[in-house]
Amino acid sequence: MTRLAKVRTRQPKSKSIPKLTPLTRFARELLREWRQLDLPRADARIVVAVSGGADSTALLFALDELIKAKKLEVSLVVAHLNHKLRGKASDADARWVRSVSRQLGYSSETSAIDVEKRAVKSSDNLEQAARRARYAFLGKVGRTNKARVVLTAHTVDDQAETFLLNLIRGSGAEGLTGIDLKRPLEGNVNIELVRPLLSWATRQDTENYCRVRAIEFRVDEMNADESRNRVRVRRQLVPLLRSFNPKFVERLARTMEILREDSLALDTAATRLLDLSLDTQQAQSLQADLLRLAPTALRRRALRLWLEQCRGDLRRIESAHIIAIENLLASPKSGRLVELPGGATISRGKGRLAFHKAKQKHQS
């Protein structure tokens, strides 16, 4: 692997970043995807998440190309969350992002959070805790700046790694559809989270773009730590699969796109099934008869949608919980319960399934 240059904290003068005419291939591809995703091309404020790595740095500089070339007339706000996982290196990343943003002429917002402590407190793993903290921060930046769109720099490689990790964990069909190209940002229905590199740019593309433009970027040494599952998939499993098919990552991305389209169709049907099964006389209850007769795939999706509505999320809900609820549907006996993570329960009685919130513990 090519050795990456270290980035100086003190940035060179702006004349070291030449204006490009014509647009680079990478910027042209980004503009094509921008149009495909129907993203605003004028009169909009957009937040771009920048960690300092090659992917997010390439996205920032390619956007800058398009803005300077008048292909986009939008206002950028650069956002960076310091996860405090790498000591002084994490702090240096934050300074680097602020410096580059200032050099390019964009405002930046940075914040810091101890993700390791948060993971212990929430019982999440480190990756989950970092993800939750990051999107909460991006949502806050988006609201503060009245942004319509928040961008992240996930690539085709991230998509493939996510698929393989979910496959290894035994994920259902929904987990195998991978990362969404665009969706509402969690807790922010008026802000879209968009990943404009996801369907076409590989990690090699972003690194090559930075090298062609002589742009230095930050290197996270945790990306070489093979005690982390994602890193092992990246450094061991993906190269092995590429030995069978050099275009494995790109082919898998296409397969996931097909799975996503199928999943959307099933979700539409499952939503209709859930609407028909809701008990209008009793809140957070379902009539069992229609669900019991429905095809398994639709029934399970409808139950997941129902649990998400009742709980607010699907954290720690596994296929075993959905199957246990299905068994309640098949049972003629009333009074049986399924316990869910977090203390909530599902009961069967009088031809209905009912959701019961976890009981609050009273302090003495």
Q: pLDDT at position 364, please?
A: 43
DSSP secondary structure letters along 13-42: PGGGS---SS--HHHHHHHHHHHHTT---E
Q: pLDDT at position 360, please?
A: 67
pLDDT at 349 over 80: yes
DSSP secondary structure letters along 93-141: HHHHHHHHHHHHT-EEEEEE--HHHHHHHHT--HHHHHHHHHHHHHHHH
Q: For the segment 82-110, what is each residue's pLDDT rounded down to a tens digit?
A: 998 888 899 999 999 999 999 999 999 99
Q: Let me know whether 173 and 67 are in one domain.
A: yes
pLDDT at 13 over 50: no
Which CATH number fits the domain that encloses residue 290? Answer: 3.30.465.60
- Is residue 3 situated within a structural domain? no
- Is residue 273 situated within a structural domain? no
Type of residue found at 179: I
pLDDT at 19 over 70: no
> Residue 35 and residue 2: Cα distance in Å, rounded?
33
Q: pLDDT at position 170, please?
A: 80
pLDDT at 224 over 70: yes
- Is residue 268 situated within a structural domain? no
Q: What is the average pLDDT score of the chain?
A: 89
Q: What is the mean pLDDT of residues 172-188?
A: 86
Q: Let me know whether 160 and 301 are in one domain.
A: no
Q: pLDDT at position 203, please?
A: 95
Torsion sign, CA atoms 243, 195, 110, 4: positive
Cβ-count burial of 264 within 10 angstroms (0-12 exposed, 13-18 middle, 19+ buried)? exposed
Q: For the segment 152-161, what is each residue's pLDDT rounded down to a tens digit?
A: 999 999 999 9
Which CATH number fits the domain that encloses residue 72? Answer: 3.40.50.620
Q: Let me know whether 193 and 55 are in one domain.
A: yes
Say how many domains are in the chain: 2
Domain that holds residue 348: 281-364
Q: Let me know whether 237 and 319 are in one domain.
A: no
Q: pLDDT at position 17, please?
A: 54
Omega within 30 of 0 (cis) for the link into 239: no
Q: pLDDT at position 48, please?
A: 98
Q: What is the mean pLDDT of residues 247-267?
A: 91
- Is residue 264 situated within a structural domain? no
Quote the pTM value: 0.82
Task: Choose between 342 and 36: higher pLDDT.
Answer: 36
The region of weakest confidence among 61-70, 82-91, 192-201 is 82-91
Q: Provide the token pair at 92.
A: 């240096």
Q: Let me know whether 191 and 336 are in one domain.
A: no
Q: How far is CA 358 from CA 118, 267, 342, in A?
A: 23, 27, 7
- Residue spans of alpha helices (H) in 115-237: 115-122, 126-144, 156-169, 203-212, 229-232
Residue 55 and residue 154 in contact, taking contact as beta carbons nearer than 8 Å: yes
Q: Let me know whether 169 and 97 are in one domain.
A: yes
Q: Let me know whether 35 and 176 are in one domain.
A: yes
- Is residue 61 situated within a structural domain? yes
